Amino acid sequence: MPDRPYLSARLRGFGTTIFAEMSALAAETGAINLGQGFPDVDGPRAVADAAIAAIRGGQNQYPPGPGILDLRRAIADHQRRFWGIQVDPEREILVTAGATEALTAALLALCEPDDEVLALEPTYDSYRAAASMAGARLVPVSLRPPGYVLDADSLRRAVTVRTRLVLLNSPHNPTGAVLSRRELEAIAEVCVERDLLVVTDEVYEHMVYEGEHIPISTLPGMAERTVTISSAGKTFSFTGWKIGWATGPAALVDAVRTAKQFLTYVSGAPFQPAIAVGLRLADTYFEELRSDLAHKRDVLCNGLESAGFEVYRPAGTYFVTAGIRRLTDEDGDTFCRHLPARCGVVAVPTSVFYEHPTDGRDAIRFTFCKRIEVLEDAAHRLKALA
Ligand SMILES: Cc1ncc(COP(=O)(O)O)c(C=O)c1O
């Protein structure tokens, strides 16, 4: 009898996510939780007030399937304002239950059984499970440390007759790498040549500290084959609201909507108008979010360096990957499990983002989306390791 007799073969090998496990460990031990990526302060007051007003104002029933029109218009304005992308709010935008649902719905909608999905590795954990639920197979394309640069030839070599799409993530979790124009052009070339679709996860689009965020859909030949996904969770520090969106050509968005409607149908009625308010905030909001996180990144990275970690200073996201070889012979998983007792800090092993857990065993991931005093305290505690 298998260990988990009721779990379908498609989900075999998937357990409770390490993030939940490590958050539970933090709660149990009272350690500072730099494992899971959620901020420890709420997002903008005006956005929270808009959600409260929407609840009081009676926006509590099923919203329209694609999302309320005002939010879709705000998403279209946001895409134009920041990235120069034109999308039609009527046909080219779908509001989802976070980026997670958009990603899963996209893979369910676009893949046939046994299709292959190329994804950058290390890989955000929901991608492999989503591919598996769609009956597809995730094929990793390595971003190699220390620079986490994409080798375009390895991407090209990974394409087979079964490849359906490339699942991108930039800015990239867990490495913090931001794909450069040159890397994106190389990906675009392969996609056009082999007629592949692209699903691109850009939830950290406003968290870039070096270089620039370039949506791949802005490259020649890409708009017509790309579904772009983002989320309010990261940009507005309301990760629990689960408002995300997918944008792209009407035919692709229609496919994603078809899958989405049978996953959740709709979600987050009163949060949708609130996120429309958020997306219309002045440029200063987005600039301050970025500069605040850039400072936090430096505080944590400096602390990690003083503690003896080898730090890959991220160009984007709110995560930093740190090599542990100067500190221990243990693998990252064991090291993370001992970390709360050793110094009262929780991190997650980078190995969980790899197909083969022996890869990535030399590094662990920390988040810096916490209050500055929390990061300073963590940096101080981590010194005990040096
Ligand atoms: C790369 C990436 N994509 C998607 C998500 C999930 O986004 P949401 O909470 O909007 O579902 C996360 C959250 O950590 C993430 O890091």
Please provide the DSSP assignment of 227-271 as one string: EEEEEHHHHTT-TTT--EEEES-HHHHHHHHHHHHHHTSS--TTH
Alpha-carbon distances of 320 from 35, 151, 153, rounded to whole Å: 11, 21, 26
List, chain by chain if needed, residues with CB within 6 Å of any ligand 1 atom. Answer: 37, 98-100, 124, 169, 173, 201, 203, 231, 233, 239, 242, 244
Share the mean pLDDT of the chain.
96
Secondary structure letter of residue 205 according to DSSP: T
DSSP H helices, the chain, are: 18-29, 45-56, 69-83, 98-110, 125-133, 152-158, 181-193, 232-235, 250-263, 271-279, 283-306, 332-343, 372-382
* CA nearest neighbour of 121 among 377, 350, 383, 301: 350
328 Cα to the center of ligand 1, angstroms: 30
How many H-runs (helices) and E-runs (strands) does the chain carry?
A: 13, 14
112 Cα to the center of ligand 1, angstroms: 24
Secondary structure letter of residue 208 according to DSSP: B
Ligand 1, atom 10, lies closest to the CA of: 98
Pocket of ligand 1, candidates 38, 234, 235: which has the most ligand atoms within 8 Å of its Cβ, to mutate? 234
- Each residue's pLDDT tens digit, 156-202: 999 999 999 999 999 999 999 999 999 999 999 999 999 999 999 99
Ligand 1, atom 16, lies closest to the CA of: 173
- Each residue's pLDDT tens digit, 51-81: 999 999 999 999 999 999 999 999 999 999 9
Q: Which amino acid is at 131?
A: A
Secondary structure letter of residue 44 according to DSSP: -
238 Cα to the center of ligand 1, angstroms: 12
Ligand 1, atom 14, lies closest to the CA of: 37
Pocket of ligand 1, candidates 124, 235, 272: which has the most ligand atoms within 8 Å of its Cβ, to mutate? 124
Residue 194's CB is within 10 A of a number of other CB atoms, namely 13
CA–CA dist 8, 343 (Å, integer): 39
| Tokens 């779990």 -> residue | 7
2 Cα to the center of ligand 1, angstroms: 31
Higher pLDDT, 22 or 224: 224
Q: How many residues does the chain have?
A: 386
- pLDDT reported for residue 2: 67
- Each residue's pLDDT tens digit, 302-350: 999 999 999 999 999 999 999 999 999 999 999 999 999 999 999 999 9
- How confident is residue 1, by pLDDT bands cut at 50, 70 and 90? low
pLDDT at residue 7 tops 90: yes
232 Cα to the center of ligand 1, angstroms: 10
- What's the whole-number mean pLDDT along residues 138-147? 91
- pLDDT reported for residue 319: 98
Cα 31–33–37 angle (5° rounding)? Answer: 175
- Each residue's pLDDT tens digit, 250-305: 999 999 999 999 999 999 999 999 999 999 999 999 999 999 999 999 999 999 99
pLDDT at residue 216 tops 60: yes
Alpha-carbon distances of 158 from 113, 194, 321, rounded to whole Å: 18, 12, 25
100 Cα to the center of ligand 1, angstroms: 6
CA torsion angle for 205, 117, 351, 378 (degrees, to 10)? Answer: 10
pLDDT at residue 218 tops 80: yes
CA–CA dist 232, 272 (Å, integer): 10
